[in-house]
């Protein structure tokens, strides 16, 4: 595990963006796993800024998002489809057919999960998986549980997660109760994982994820087993590491 800490948000975003861009530039048909939430916003902004300088293209890139809410209209401003369109996809030259996000409105959600896993498998392997971290240690929407699921599946969102995401909605009642998420097995199969965490409110969960026991109660702790994990933290998020 390679942990890097940063004293400014701008430097952290730049470092993360450079890793993503480097992957695109060095892998002929790069497959990226992408994340949503507050953390990657500045990273995507930096990627778009560099893209606009014309140094690289997304034409041969394929992307798979980690998750999507169930039963939220695709064009709802807080759907992850809308998020990706406004923060990244709408501003780069990535062909629409090459960006994949689970369909939380599919008539048969279990079938949609199978379809999503098959689409990932068809590409072989995710070259670089970008991850944020939930306050309870969730990655994607893999919430703490007695056992974790390998592939894409339907999850009930933890109350804590819905409360954390209520800031994006008018009220907590509007936060969907379920989501589709890539499984921990798929996440761990990525060739390289880039975990980005910001803020003092995540310092405790960063410590237990990276230096605590490996347990399904802290899904991110399984990342300790990955052979190629890069962790980018701001000083506040790194504050409790030994």
Ligand X SMILES: N[C@@H]1[C@@H](O)[C@H](O)[C@@H](COP(=O)(O)O)O[C@@H]1O
CA angle 224, 228, 230 (to 5 degrees): 80
Checking 70-74 for CB contacts under 8 A at 24+ apart, the result is 70/104, 70/105, 70/109, 70/154, 70/176, 70/177, 70/178, 70/179, 70/180, 71/104, 71/105, 71/176, 71/178, 72/104, 72/105, 72/176, 73/105, 74/105
**Closest to ligand X by CB, 104 or 140:** 140
Query: Residue 126 contacts by C-beta under 8 Å, 6 or more apart in sequence?
Result: 31, 32, 33, 64, 120, 186, 189, 190, 191
Closest distance to ligand X from the beta carbon of 115 (Å): 20
> Measured at CB, which residue is nearest to ligand X?
132
Using CB under 6 A as the binding rule, whether residue 42 contacts ligand X is answered as: no
Residue from 13, 23, 39, 62 that binds ligand X (CB under 6 A)? Answer: 39
Q: Which of 231, 212, 230 is nearest to 222 (CA)?
A: 212
Is residue 38 within the footprint of ligand X (CB under 6 A)?
yes
> What residue ranges in 37-127 does DSSP mark as E strands?
62-65, 67-69, 99-100
* Residue 129 makes contact with ligand X by CB under 6 A: no
Residue 186 is a binding residue for ligand X (CB under 6 A): no
Q: Which stretch binds ligand X (CB under 6 A): 94-102, 113-121, 129-137, 147-155?
A: 129-137
Least distance in Å: CB of 36 to ligand X? 6
Cβ 169 to ligand X shortest distance, Å? 12
Annotated catalytic residue, options 13, 67, 100, 165? 67
Q: Quick check: is 138 catalytic?
A: yes
Among 132, 176, 183, 219, binds ligand X (CB under 6 A): 132
- Does residue 102 belong to the site contacting ligand X (CB under 6 A)? no
Instruction: For the CB of residue 203, give the shortest distance to ligand X in the complex, in Å.
Output: 13
170 is catalytic: no
Query: 93, exposed or middle or buried, with CB in 10 Å at 0-12, 13-18, 19+?
Result: exposed
Give dist(CA 107, CA 109) in Å, integer: 6
Tell me which residues in 146-185 interact with ligand X (CB under 6 A): 161, 165
* Interface with ligand X (CB under 6 A): 35-39, 66-67, 132-134, 140-141, 161, 165
Return the active site residues: 67, 136, 138, 143
């Amino acid at each position: 595990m390679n942990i890097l800490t940063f004293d400014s948000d701008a430097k952290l975003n730049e470092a993360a963006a450079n890793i993503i861009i480097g992957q695109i530039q060095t892998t002929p048909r790069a497959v990226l796993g992408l994340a949503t939430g507050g953390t990657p916003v500045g990273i995507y902004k930096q990627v778009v800024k560099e893209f606009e300088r014309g140094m690289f293209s997304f034409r041969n890139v394929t992307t798979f998002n980690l998750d999507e809410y169930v039963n939220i209209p695709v064009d709802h401003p807080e759907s992850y489809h809308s998020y990706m369109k406004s923060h990244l996809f709408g501003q780069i030259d990535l062909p629409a057919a090459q960006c994949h996000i689970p369909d939380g409105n599919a008539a048969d959600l279990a079938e949609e999960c199978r379809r999503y896993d098959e689409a990932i498998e068809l590409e072989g392997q995710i070259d670089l998986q970008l991850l944020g971290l939930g306050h309870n240690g969730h990655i994607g929407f893999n919430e703490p549980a007695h056992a974790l699921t390998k592939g894409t599946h339907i999850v009930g969102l933890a109350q804590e997660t819905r409360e954390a995401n209520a800031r994006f909605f008018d009220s907590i009642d509007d936060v969907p109760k379920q989501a589709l998420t890539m499984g921990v097995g798929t996440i761990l199969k990525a060739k390289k994982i880039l975990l980005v965490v910001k803020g003092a409110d995540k310092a405790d969960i960063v410590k237990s994820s990276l230096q605590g026991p490996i347990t399904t109660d802290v899904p991110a702790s399984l990342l300790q087993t990955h052979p190629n994990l890069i962790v980018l933290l701001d000083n506040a998020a790194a504050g409790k590491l030994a």
